Amino acid sequence: MDDVRIIDGDLAQVIKLDEGQIPLLSTLKNYSQKEIACFDVPGHVRDQGVEVLNNYFGNEIMKMDINSSPFMDNVSKPNGIIKQAQDLLANAYKSDEAFFITNGTTQAIHAMILSVINPNDKVLLPRNIHKSVINALILCGGQPVFIQPEFDEELGISLNISTTKVKEALDKNNDIKAIFLLNPTYYGACSNLSEIIRLCREKSVLVLVDEAHGAHFPFHQDLPPSAMDLGADMAAVSIHKTGGALTQASSLLVNKGNIDCEKVSQSINMLQSTSASYLLMASIDGARYNLISNGQEQLSKALNLSRYAKSKLNKIEGIKVVTTEILDSDGVEYIDETKLCINVKGLNLTGFKVYDILYQEFGVQLELGDLYNILALVSIGTTKQDIDKLIKSLDIISRKYSEYRSASILETKQISPIVRLNPRQAFYSQKESIDFKKSINRICAESIMVYPPGIPIVSPGEVITIEILEYINLLRESKAYLTDMKDKSLDTILVIKEN
């Protein structure tokens, strides 16, 4: 579908968008093939300076790793091929504007929140948000107001937030500036975003969405609806996660009605390098073209492979795959079937253990493991051979560890935070390290989380409870990869210094 967009508000400058074009990728390729004597950065000077990189990356990649120039546009204030590529991306995602982001969706989330949240503004958000949101609140001084997402006891995972809880929170807090939502969660659960947006419009509350794991949503009818299509104000989208671009290639999408796009651009430029990677930006251009051209077919294949995997895996003793079953749960309106949440509780092995076994013994790399589950992403690049290898590996594990099934099951739970200081106040307060076991009722001064997915168990400004300590100890005993704390052994923990 063609579209017409105005460049820089000048009615005389219009371009007709052609979804079959790849303006940035094709121009970068042509530029790399020109015979040019380069006296600019980067210092490797195409493929002339660092042979080991040529050998590992290839000469063409090295030639395409360039810096901004008048001929190649500039991401800080694009008005040429980058602008054209961003407009095509906005068109594909049904948004008014799209900004290229080269430091991952973390940077997109930081820019999104910085552009609309002032110091002490309240932000309504689910507790199972990524650490980047807490860090964005440190940057801007916003005040989090948490909603607990619904929790699946059987799976041991947080789902998404219910419309009822959003309404209750909005009625209770009449000074909420914005709501921050996940569409989807790491495990593919989507709330009733359309109804939540309607509730927020009635209260003049901005709707910001972390759509890191939903880059593929607009390109197949069997997938959940995208945030932009439903009318959210802004969405941060990891084009690299499920859209096919290179790692760290992301986008910030904007619908203009309630948003100052100049402020958004200013926030991005505060956070993004002036030497943004052309390889990453061009990969967004190429991924967008592929999704427009081949997304329907590739995603149909991915969905069929996921459904095939589910049917086979559910026949393995001790294994249970859950996708559409959780649609009956509160807080779940849609589910992304390309995300296989494989519950291994019946094996009486933790997901962390199964994750390690699959990689170390079978050469199968999963997205994550938790106490009860492993998560496999079925994407546009997944093959039936990959799926069959996963099925066979889990079948062998099930038989090999069958004697463990009578042992006790670990208990996982949802933790409700007690916020005493906003994240920025906690970040700039004086701190001290104390014995981990003696930290109950102290205010935490650091984040502790399992990565992936990077959801904080405790964040700066929150009270450390016995429940939190017990859960962290359970994760330590389960060999979870805990991160972000100062003391990697967790013998001590960083807390706010008391007067």
Q: What is the pLDDT of residue 404?
A: 64
Q: What are phi and psi of 426, to 5 degrees?
A: -65, -40
Q: What would the pLDDT profile of 112-137 be if each residue is shown by its tens digit?
A: 999 999 999 999 999 899 999 999 99
% of the chain at pLDDT higher than 70: 95
Average pLDDT over residues 446-457: 87
- Above 90 in pLDDT, residue 410? no
List for the chain the helix, strand, coil content (%; round to 5).
40, 20, 40
Quick one: how far is CA 198 from the chain centroid?
24
Identify which of 9, 29, 3 has the alpha carbon closest to the alpha carbon of residue 81: 29
Average pLDDT over residues 385-399: 97
CB 393 within 8 Å of CB 401: no
Burial 250-270 (b: 16+ CB within 10 A, else e): bbbbbbeeebeeeebbebbee
Average pLDDT over residues 171-193: 96
The yes-or-no answer to whether 299-406 and 423-496 have a common fold is no
- Residue 324 tokens read as 């559409």
H-run or E-run covering 81: helix 81-92
**Cα gap 231→196, rounded to integer Å:** 11
C-alpha neighbours within 13 Å on the C-beta side of residue 169: 26
- Above 80 in pLDDT, residue 16? no
Quick one: how far is CA 425 from the chain centroid?
26
- Above 70 in pLDDT, residue 197? yes
Kindly indicate the confidence band of residue 10, based on its pLDDT and cuts at 50, 70 and 90. very low
**Cα gap 341→344, rounded to integer Å:** 10
User: What count of other Cβ atoms lies within 10 Å of the Cβ of residue 168?
Assistant: 12
Q: State which amino acid sits at residue 140.
A: C
**Cα gap 349→447, rounded to integer Å:** 27
Q: What is the pLDDT of residue 1?
A: 38
- Above 80 in pLDDT, residue 495? yes
CB 208 within 8 Å of CB 183: no
CB 150 within 8 Å of CB 163: no
In this structure, what DSSP letter does residue 320 have? E
In this structure, what DSSP letter does residue 430 have? -
Q: What is the pLDDT of residue 186?
A: 93
Q: What is the pLDDT of residue 19?
A: 81
Average pLDDT over residues 361-378: 96
Average pLDDT over residues 104-114: 97
Q: What would the pLDDT profile of 163-181 be if each residue is shown by its tens digit?
A: 999 999 999 999 999 999 9
Q: What is the pLDDT of residue 318?
A: 94
- Residue 221 tokens read as 């009818």
**Cα gap 302→187, rounded to integer Å:** 16
Q: What is the pLDDT of residue 409?
A: 55
* Residue the block writes with tokens 């074009």: 21
Domain 299-406 sits in CATH 3.90.1150.10: yes
Is residue 35 helix, strand or coil? coil
- For the domain made up of 3-291, the CATH class stated in words is alpha beta
Quick one: how far is CA 472 from the chain centroid?
23
Please enumerate in sequence order all residues whose Cβ is within 8 A of that of 499, keeping only pairs 6 or more positions apart, or say none.
none
- Residue 321 tokens read as 């795959």
Q: How many residues are listed for the chain in this entry?
A: 499
How does the average pLDDT of the chain come out, rounded?
Answer: 92
Can you give the pTM of this predicted structure?
0.92
Q: Which CATH superfamily is domain 423-496 in?
A: Orn/Lys/Arg decarboxylase, C-terminal domain (3.90.100.10)
Average pLDDT over residues 51-67: 96
Q: Which of 142-151, 358-367, 449-458 has the lowest mean pLDDT?
A: 449-458
Domain range summary for the chain, segments of one domain joined by +: 3-291, 299-406, 423-496
* Residue the block writes with tokens 């901005």: 206
Q: What is the pLDDT of residue 11?
A: 33
